[in-house]
Amino acid sequence: MFISDYFMNAVTSILNKNYLNKDDIIFLLKLNEEKGIGKLFCKADQIRQKYCGNDVHLRGIIELSNYCEQDCLYCGLRRGNKSLKRYRMSKNEILDTARRIYDAGLKTIVLQSGEDSWFSKADLSEIISSIKNEMDVAITLSLGERTADEYEEWRKAGADRYLLKHETANPRLYSMYHQRQKLTDRIKNLLQLKSLGYQVGSGNLIGLPHQTTEDIADDILICKELNVDMASFSPFIPSPNTPYENKNAADPHLVFKTIAVTRIVLKDVHLPVTTALSTLYPSAREKALKVGANVIMPNFTPEPYRNYYLIYPNKNRIESVPDEMISSVKKLVNSLGRNIGVTRGDSLKQNRISV
Ligand code: 5AD
């Protein structure tokens, strides 16, 4: 047997295991084009088919404020970035945008912003309940770290899900990127959200300075441990006017591999193709949907605000007018023999409360 045959047998035997340990995950994340990556992608697609079927769920995003009280070294919204024009959408603008998402047939509205306590507990409760009273949709919040009391109130107002990425499961890197924040607090927030009955999403940034393949394996494993309902693995893209502006962007192929390995390890979880991945790699949606992803999150933030939500540059390159975008997403999904989900696309877990 040639050495390459031994190697391919090793790939096959790992992919046939019921339980993948950290070494297996690292091995798979290091596969390259000549070596076994096709088998990895094929297995991930089979598992996606088994647990998610052919539905691709669309979640419409509203970026309601780009003010942020945090100072994350990688993020263009960091408060230290004085050259970014800041905005907050009014309640009416948010409701109008929610209606546009609902009228486009989407069943999930994502309310996303920097960490902006200007939007009070009561303001957000009012926005959430107004949307829920008028529209039959799920609401996902993505507003960063807030108090347990706020999380509880918003859940009561009708919020269904919360997206709070852990960003990195390496506590040393976490403290380096975020300085004033600690990984333990982030995990505490995620556990609070779970105990309040939110469907919870977490995830990381791939390709940040000093990150290793081992760190990415830990990011996948922490999502497993937290039994998350959704996991967002997204590439780092250097953003001007941040301390990391001159660093290299992530390798998009590593992101595709991470999505595939996550599908194999976590199985019954929603995995989005992120806007950042599409910004970095033109046919990212098609590619990611073929290797384990089952969610697309179109951005509905209206002009001019969408031009100011600059977490990283060129973010709006792929995001044209929402209507055109939705029809091109539908065309793509159908061309892959898949269909747009007609349900809310809630958690795939049978028993999601247990951690
Ligand atoms: N590139 C890609 N994604 C980023 N985020 C922040 N900065 C960047 C960047 N430079 C992501 C983080 C965070 C969300 C606000 O955006 O993962 O959770």
Q: How far is the CA of 241 from the centre of ligand 1 (A)?
A: 14
Could you tell me the end-to-end alpha-carbon distance of the chain, in angstroms, rounded to an integer?
45
The atom number, within ligand 1, closest to the CA of 237 reads 1
Q: What residue's CA is closest to ligand 1, atom 2?
A: 236
Q: What residue's CA is closest to ligand 1, atom 7?
A: 75
Name 236's Cβ contacts closer than 8 Å, sequence gap at least 6. 74, 205, 206, 207, 208, 244, 247, 249, 250, 276, 312
Q: To test the ligand 1 pocket, which listed residue (67, 70, 71, 74) has its Cβ within 8 A of the most ligand atoms?
A: 74
Query: Residues 141-158, buried b or exposed e (16+ Cβ, 10 A)?
Result: bbbbbbeeebbbbbbebb
Alpha helices in 135-251 (DSSP H): 148-157, 171-178, 183-195, 213-225
**Orientation angle between helical segments 148-157 and 183-195, nearest 10 degrees:** 30
Q: How far is the CA of 72 from the centre of ligand 1 (A)?
A: 9
Separation CA 274–CA 28 (nearest Å): 21
The pLDDT, as a whole number, for residue 352 is: 53
Q: What is the pLDDT of residues 200-224, one digit of tens each?
A: 999 999 999 999 999 999 999 999 9
| Residue the block writes with tokens 């509905």 | 300
Separation CA 236–CA 250 (nearest Å): 5
Name 224's Cβ contacts closer than 8 Å, sequence gap at least 6. 265, 266
Q: How far is the CA of 311 from the centre of ligand 1 (A)?
A: 6
pLDDT: is 40 or 352 the higher one? 40
The pLDDT, as a whole number, for residue 351 is: 57
63 phi and psi angles, rounded to 5 deg: -95, 95
The answer to whether the CB of 97 is under 6 A from ligand 1 is no
Q: What is the pLDDT of residues 75-111, one digit of tens each?
A: 999 999 999 999 999 999 999 999 999 999 999 999 9
Edge-to-edge strand order for the sheet containing 230-235?
A: 60-65, 108-113, 138-142, 161-163, 199-206, 230-235
Q: What is the pLDDT of residues 308-318, one digit of tens each?
A: 999 999 887 66
Separation CA 46–CA 158 (nearest Å): 35
Quick one: pLDDT band at residue 320, thresholds 50, 70, 90?
low
Q: How far is the CA of 203 from the centre of ligand 1 (A)?
A: 11
Burial of residue 103 (number of CB atoms within 10 Å: 0-12, 13-18, 19+): exposed
Average per-residue pLDDT for the chain: 95
Separation CA 100–CA 40 (nearest Å): 39
Q: What residue's CA is closest to ligand 1, atom 14?
A: 311
In which region does residue 55 sit, left (phi positive, over 0), alpha (psi from -120 to 50) or beta (all else)? Answer: beta
The answer to whether the CB of 289 is under 6 A from ligand 1 is no
The answer to whether the CB of 312 is under 6 A from ligand 1 is yes
